[in-house]
């Protein structure tokens, strides 16, 4: 090995030691954890609103896709959720005490059934109410 190769090896070795030392000492260590607690499902019909009461004061609200569900804080402990478009998204509520909850929000079309009365006369069908 030449002097140049030895010098480069030494610089790389020292750099690796410094990086490893910082990681082992807890500095520069990346920790990823789920910051919220999953609390369940919220089902809403398209175009309808539901009010959601909390037991703590709300600090912030985040919805994954606001085109699916619109969320509005009415007071520190009351949230209104409106179904805007069929689909699924998530809702994260952070409270002033640092606690956070996550909900799975499902908006469906809320199909309605219309009853149509009719009379069957031989080979044809006659409907009333149309």
Count of other CB atoms within 10 angstroms of residue 79: 19
In a domain, 8, yes or no: no
**How far does CA 126 lie from the centroid of its chain?**
49
Q: Is the pLDDT of residue 64 over 80?
A: yes
Max CA separation in the chain (angstroms): 105
> How far is it, in rounded angstroms, from Cα 129 to Cα 76?
48
In a domain, 24, yes or no: no
In a domain, 127, yes or no: no
Q: 81: domain range?
A: 37-108
**How far does CA 72 lie from the centroid of its chain?**
15
Q: What is the mean pLDDT of residues 99-127?
A: 74
Rounded to 5°, angle at Cα 124 from 122 and 126:
110
Q: Is the pLDDT of residue 40 over 90?
A: no
In a domain, 128, yes or no: no
> CATH number for the domain including 57?
2.60.40.1080
The total of structural domains in the chain comes to 1
Q: Give the pLDDT of residue 34.
A: 56
In a domain, 48, yes or no: yes
In a domain, 17, yes or no: no
Report CA-CA distances (Å) from 34 to 29, 38, 42: 16, 10, 20
Q: What is the mean pLDDT of residues 33-52?
A: 84
Q: Is pLDDT larger for residue 110 or for residue 66?
A: 66
In a domain, 66, yes or no: yes
> How far is it, in rounded angstroms, from Cα 4 to Cα 11?
11
Question: In 3-state terms, the chain is what percent helix, strand and coil (to 5)?
Answer: 15, 45, 35
């Amino acid at each position: 090995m030449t002097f140049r190769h030895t010098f480069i090896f030494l610089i790389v070795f020292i750099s690796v030691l410094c990086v490893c030392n910082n990681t082992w000492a807890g500095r520069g260590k990346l920790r990823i954890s789920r910051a919220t607690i999953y609390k369940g499902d919220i089902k809403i019909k398209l175009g309808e609103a539901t009010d959601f009461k909390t037991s703590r004061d709300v600090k912030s609200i985040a919805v994954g896709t606001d085109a699916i569900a619109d969320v509005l804080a009415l007071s520190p402990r009351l949230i209104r959720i409106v179904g805007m478009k069929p689909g699924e998204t998530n809702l994260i509520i952070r409270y002033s005490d640092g606690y956070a909850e996550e909900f799975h929000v499902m908006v469906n079309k809320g199909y309605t059934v219309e009853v149509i009365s009719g009379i069957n006369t031989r080979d044809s069908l006659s409907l009333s109410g149309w």
